[in-house]
């Protein structure tokens, strides 16, 4: 069953943002974090197929500037009332009759509805406000500790310039009903007959408080030697200057983290220049997983156990991510960590504490794909590691990505029963994995409605499943 909060966000953005500039907030828990002037971090993606989500750093622009003063109030750009209500139903039946084998018949009916009415308002920091702030305030010296940490990891920093905010409390209701029936009759010495019926109803309600942020817009923060913001996106720009020569490896090589994807791209250049579809994604992922095929089974099993623990431990996952980012960027030296993150790190370093780059790179890429997913998906993948469902889920995701090409256009994809396992409904783990990517699913017939917005999450899910499956296979 889809998230009621996400349904509201989706409806609001559809009505108010035809250009697609607003970034949806992914959960009600985060709806108070993305205030105007808030600073966010976003890693440079190691893949061309997805971008990492923005995460708060618990700082405002005034926390890194001098003189420290309250930020000017953002402009209120008009309020809008949005009412969204929808009903839908699906019905199907089947019958099989034979003189020798008897008769089997069944029918299923599904219906769903959702409703929400809300007053929302856009709050925007005026462009002139940024001009005045840039003229009157300068960066703190010494640099804020959090900025120093983000600089060492090569992470870009953004500032929230606009938000879509609720003005009143919003009540959202989702309803799903499902009914099924069946009959059978088997001939013989004694004729056996039977029938059955079933009904299931689910209802989800959520209250979104007034003042909650549904979506936001950002500008990139530029630093070195002075600060500025980039109101229009430019993927070539970085918040911090590239690491100086003091951060390079002793052998004169450039930092590996800055070249991980370009190196892979150059090796696969003929293929990736021709396509930005599944073939290119598969080439990129296989390039990253190649080193994992040579690991001993004992090491594979240990890595899988620790990754499974890490998927339920966000603080340790972020700590390992940060350690690998910094090690790959600065030359390979890392500090020990605790818990499952520390156990994984021990598998990736030499006795000197220096990263084994051929192992650290694919694990860093895997962590990047995993952190591009939602927490719900991460927990489901932890369960899939235990239930040995990875390969079946990988085959299904691959089927959807292949059949939905070109990804930039909406389409319907039929799902083979052989890939769905024993359960295919809104409670099945694979169903939830796909639904969290923004896909709309149907039970009968099994089908996916592909939306272009699902491209990034689905590619990250494919990469996660592929690399985890590679670790679970016997060494070549």
Q: Give the number of other CB atoms < 10 A from CB of residue 199.
A: 10
Higher pLDDT, residue 197 or 38? 38
CA atoms of 464 and 40, how far apart (whole Å): 25
What are residue 179's DSSP bridge partners?
109, 199
Average pLDDT over residues 358-384: 93
CA atoms of 286 and 301, how far apart (whole Å): 20
Residue 58 corresponds to which tokens in the numbers above?
A: 């618990």
CA atoms of 418 and 232, how far apart (whole Å): 47
Are the CB atoms for 475 and 293 separated by under 8 Å?
A: yes
Judged against a pLDDT cut of 50, whether residue 277 lies above it is answered with yes
CA atoms of 444 and 323, how far apart (whole Å): 46
- The mean-pLDDT minimum among 156-170, 173-187, 336-350, 389-403 falls in 173-187
- The mean-pLDDT minimum among 57-66, 79-88, 225-234, 302-311 falls in 79-88
Judged against a pLDDT cut of 60, whether residue 271 lies above it is answered with no
What does the pLDDT look like over 45-92, one tens digit per residue? Answer: 889 899 888 989 999 999 999 998 899 999 998 788 877 655 544 444
Higher pLDDT, residue 407 or 21? 407
Judged against a pLDDT cut of 50, whether residue 283 lies above it is answered with yes
CA atoms of 367 and 432, how far apart (whole Å): 21
Average pLDDT over residues 420-449: 89
Judged against a pLDDT cut of 70, whether residue 257 lies above it is answered with no
Question: What pLDDT, on the 0 to 100 scale, is given for residue 185?
Answer: 58
Question: What pLDDT, on the 0 to 100 scale, is given for residue 466?
Answer: 96
Higher pLDDT, residue 73 or 95? 73
Question: What pLDDT, on the 0 to 100 scale, is given for residue 276?
Answer: 59
Judged against a pLDDT cut of 60, whether residue 261 lies above it is answered with no
Phi, psi torsion values for 434, nearest 5 degrees: -75, -40
**Burial state string for 51-74 with b = 16 or more CB within 10 A and e = fewer than 16:** ebbbeebebbbebbbeeeeeeeeb
Q: Which residue has the tokens 């009415």?
A: 117
Give the model's confidence band at 325: pLDDT under 50 very low, under 70 low, under 90 confident, else very high.
confident
Give the model's confidence band at 224: pLDDT under 50 very low, under 70 low, under 90 confident, else very high.
confident
Residue 385 corresponds to which tokens in the numbers above?
A: 């590691």
Closest by Cα among 285, 305, 292 to 461: 285
CA atoms of 409 and 406, how far apart (whole Å): 6
Q: Using the Cα atoms of residue 121, residue 172, residue 83 and residue 3 in order, give the sign of their dihedral.
A: positive
Residue 196 corresponds to which tokens in the numbers above?
A: 């059955």
441-445 — which CB contacts under 8 Å span 24+ positions? Answer: 442/90, 443/90, 443/108, 443/110, 443/178, 444/90, 444/92, 444/108, 444/110, 445/92, 445/414
What does the pLDDT look like over 109-149, one tens digit per residue? Answer: 444 455 667 889 999 999 999 999 999 999 999 999 999 98
Average pLDDT over residues 343-358: 90
Q: Using the Cα atoms of residue 310, residue 281, residue 466 and residue 296 in order, give the sign of their dihedral.
A: negative
Give the model's confidence band at 30: pLDDT under 50 very low, under 70 low, under 90 confident, else very high.
confident
Phi, psi torsion values for 326, nearest 5 degrees: -70, -40
Give the model's confidence band at 19: pLDDT under 50 very low, under 70 low, under 90 confident, else very high.
confident
Q: Where are the domains of the chain?
A: 4-90+112-175+205-230, 257-375, 388-472
- The mean-pLDDT minimum among 151-160, 248-257, 382-391 falls in 248-257
Q: Which residue has the tokens 């039970």?
A: 443
Average pLDDT over residues 334-353: 90
Judged against a pLDDT cut of 70, whether residue 186 lies above it is answered with no
Residue 205 corresponds to which tokens in the numbers above?
A: 């309600």
pTM above 0.85, yes or no: no
DSSP helix/strand/coil, 156: strand
What does the pLDDT look like over 435-462, one tens digit per residue? Answer: 999 898 998 889 999 989 899 999 999 9
Judged against a pLDDT cut of 80, whether residue 299 lies above it is answered with yes
Residue 217 corresponds to which tokens in the numbers above?
A: 């817009």
Average pLDDT over residues 396-413: 94
- The mean-pLDDT minimum among 213-217, 273-277, 398-402, 417-421 falls in 273-277
Give the model's confidence band at 153: pLDDT under 50 very low, under 70 low, under 90 confident, else very high.
confident
* Paired sense of beta strands 102-124 and 170-186, if any: antiparallel
Q: How many helices (H) and strands (E) does the chain have?
A: 14, 15
- Residue 440 contacts by C-beta under 8 Å, 6 or more apart in sequence? 448, 449, 451
Q: Which residue has the tokens 């070539």?
A: 236
CA atoms of 138 and 156, how far apart (whole Å): 19
Give the model's confidence band at 2: pLDDT under 50 very low, under 70 low, under 90 confident, else very high.
low
Length reported for the chain: 476
ω into 225 cis (within 30 of 0)? yes
Question: What pLDDT, on the 0 to 100 scale, is given for residue 474?
Answer: 74
**Can you point out the beta strands (E) in 187-252?**
192-208, 213-222, 228-230
Are the CB atoms for 209 and 168 separated by under 8 Å?
A: no
First-to-last alpha carbon distance for the chain, in angstroms, is 40
């Amino acid at each position: 069953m889809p998230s009621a909060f996400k349904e509201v966000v989706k409806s609001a953005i559809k009505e108010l943002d035809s250009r697609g500039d607003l970034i949806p907030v992914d959960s009600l828990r985060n709806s108070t974090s993305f205030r105007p002037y808030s600073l966010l971090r976003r890693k440079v993606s190691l893949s061309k197929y997805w971008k990492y989500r923005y995460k708060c750093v618990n700082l405002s622009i005034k926390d890194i500037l001098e003189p420290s003063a309250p930020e000017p109030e953002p402009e209120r750009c008009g309020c809008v009332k949005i009412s969204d209500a929808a009903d839908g139903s699906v019905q199907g039946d089947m019958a099989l009759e034979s003189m020798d084998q008897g008769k089997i018949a069944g029918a299923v009916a599904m219906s769903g509805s959702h409703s929400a009415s809300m007053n929302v308002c856009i709050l925007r920091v005026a462009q002139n406000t940024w001009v005045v702030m840039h003229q009157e305030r300068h960066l703190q010296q010494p640099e804020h500790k959090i900025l120093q940490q983000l600089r060492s990891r090569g992470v870009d920093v953004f500032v929230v310039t606009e938000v879509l905010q609720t003005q009143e409390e919003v009540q959202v209701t989702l309803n799903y009903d499902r009914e099924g029936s069946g009959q059978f009759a088997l001939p013989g010495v004694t004729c056996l007959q039977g029938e059955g019926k079933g009904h299931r109803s689910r209802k989800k309600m959520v209250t979104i408080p007034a003042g909650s942020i549904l979506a936001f817009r950002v500008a990139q923060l530029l630093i070195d030697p002075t600060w500025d913001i980039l109101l229009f996106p430019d993927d070539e720009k970085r918040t911090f200057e590239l690491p100086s020569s003091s951060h390079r490896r002793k052998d004169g090589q450039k930092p590996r983290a800055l070249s991980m994807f370009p190196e892979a791209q150059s090796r696969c250049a003929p293929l990736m220049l021709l396509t930005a579809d599944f073939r290119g994604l598969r080439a990129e992922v296989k390039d990253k997983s190649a080193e994992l095929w040579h690991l001993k089974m004992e090491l594979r099993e240990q890595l899988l156990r620790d990754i499974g623990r890490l998927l339920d431990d966000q603080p340790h996952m972020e700590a390992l991510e940060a350690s690998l980012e910094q090690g790959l960027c600065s030359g390979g030296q890392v500090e020990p960590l605790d818990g499952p993150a520390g156990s994984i790190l021990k598998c990736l370093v030499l006795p000197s504490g220096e990263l084994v780059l051929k192992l650290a790179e694919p694990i860093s890429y895997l962590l990047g794909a995993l952190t591009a997913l939602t927490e719900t998906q991460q927990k489901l993948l932890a369960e899939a590691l235990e239930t040995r469902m990875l390969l079946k889920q990988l085959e299904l995701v691959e089927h959807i990505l292949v059949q939905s090409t070109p990804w930039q256009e909406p389409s319907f994809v039929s799902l083979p029963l052989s890939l769905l396992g024993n359960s295919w409904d809104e409670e099945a783990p694979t169903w939830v994995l796909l639904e969290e990517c923004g896909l709309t699913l149907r039970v009968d017939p099994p089908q996916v409605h592909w939306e272009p917005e699902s491209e990034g999450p689905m590619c990250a899910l494919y990469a996660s499943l592929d690399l985890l499956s590679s670790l679970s296979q016997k060494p070549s």
